[in-house]
Structure 1
Amino acid sequence: MRNISDLIEQYLKHMLQDSPEGAVEIQRNDLADKFSCVPSQINYVISTRFTMEKGYMVESKRGGGGYIRIQRIDLPALKAIQYHIEQTIGECVDQSAAEGLIYQLEEARLVSKREANLLRAAVQRETIALKLPLRDEMRARLLRSMLISLLVK
């Protein structure tokens, strides 16, 4: 059985998918009531699963009538994907940012689940058994090379 965080994440993703603007506004307390959970559970899901690295922009307004707005940030067109990869990865990239980019590419269906799993395995700190900052530099080179091979045809 899936946990409550997974259910909330899937619910929000379906709302985003159905939204013509690619954005949703929710009230934290209303969503917490819907899932019979505490509002902090909603905060947790949004702060861990709807990050900039994963392709989402989140803004919130506190107080009476406050809301949380989640917007999907689309990857650039395939023509510009190499440039986007260069800008995102740069000369060095930490494991979290690399995994966020891989997640974003998988969500956009630019890489398959299997390809995403292979990319994740290749960029893990255990795989690249080097000391920092060399590890982050090697991760950037590997990731850039693999992504360009996969995406730029």
Structure 2
Amino acid sequence: MSSISDIIEHYLKQMLVDSELGVVEIKRSELADSFQCVPSQINYVISTRFTLEKGFLVESKRGGGGYIRIKKVPVLDSQRYYIELLERIGDSIPQVTAEHVIHRLIEEGFMTPREAHLMKSMISRDLIQLPLILRDQLRARMMRMMITILFANKGE
């Protein structure tokens, strides 16, 4: 059985698919009422499932007429996306953020599920048993290298 977070995520993603402009604008309290949950549950879903690493832009306006706007950001230029990925990874990346990047690479067709499984295994905290700061730095170096190889082989 799916969790309420999974159901809300699926609902919002379906709204994005159905949207002609690829943008969804919602009121947090109305969505919470629809799913009979607290508004903070909506915040949790949006902040964890609709991240930039996963390919979404989220903007919100608080107050009485407030809203949350979610937009799926398409990858139009693979070379530009490659550069943005390397910049986003930077010198250090936590495991969960790296997994979001990998998820998006699958969604956008830049890697196979098998390649993603291998990459996730290589960046796992279970494998990289170092102090946190060193682990995140090593993970970033490994991610940058694997993504560079992945994008270099797309031309073949």
Q: TM-score range by the shorter chain?
A: 0.7 to 0.9
The 1:21/1:96 distance shift into structure 2, 3 A limit, reads same
Point out the more displaced range, 95-104 or 73-82.
73-82
Q: Which residue matches 1:5?
A: 5
CA RMSD in angstroms, aligned pairs only: 2.1
Q: Which residue matches 1:20?
A: 20
State how many pairs are aligned.
Answer: 153
**TM-score, with length taken from structure 2:** 0.83
Look up the equivalent residue of 1:6 and give its one-letter code.
D
1:83 aligns with 2:83: yes
1:74-108 C-alpha deviation (Å, 9 max, x unpaired): 33512334322321223333323322211222232
1:110-129 C-alpha deviation (Å, 9 max, x unpaired): 22333222211211122112
Point out the more displaced range, 117-126 or 4-13.
117-126
Instruction: Tell me the secondary structure at the aligned position of residue 125 of structure 2.
Output: coil
Mark the runs of 5 or more structure 1 residues left unpaired by the alignment.
none
- Following superposition, the deviation at residue 15 of structure 1 comes to 1.1
- Following superposition, the deviation at residue 8 of structure 1 comes to 0.5
Mark the runs of 5 or more structure 2 residues left unpaired by the alignment.
none
Q: Which residue matches 1:55?
A: 55
The 1:26/1:121 distance shift into structure 2, 3 A limit, reads same
Matches of 2:125 and 2:28 in 1, distance apart? 36
Look up the equivalent residue of 2:4 and give its one-letter code.
I
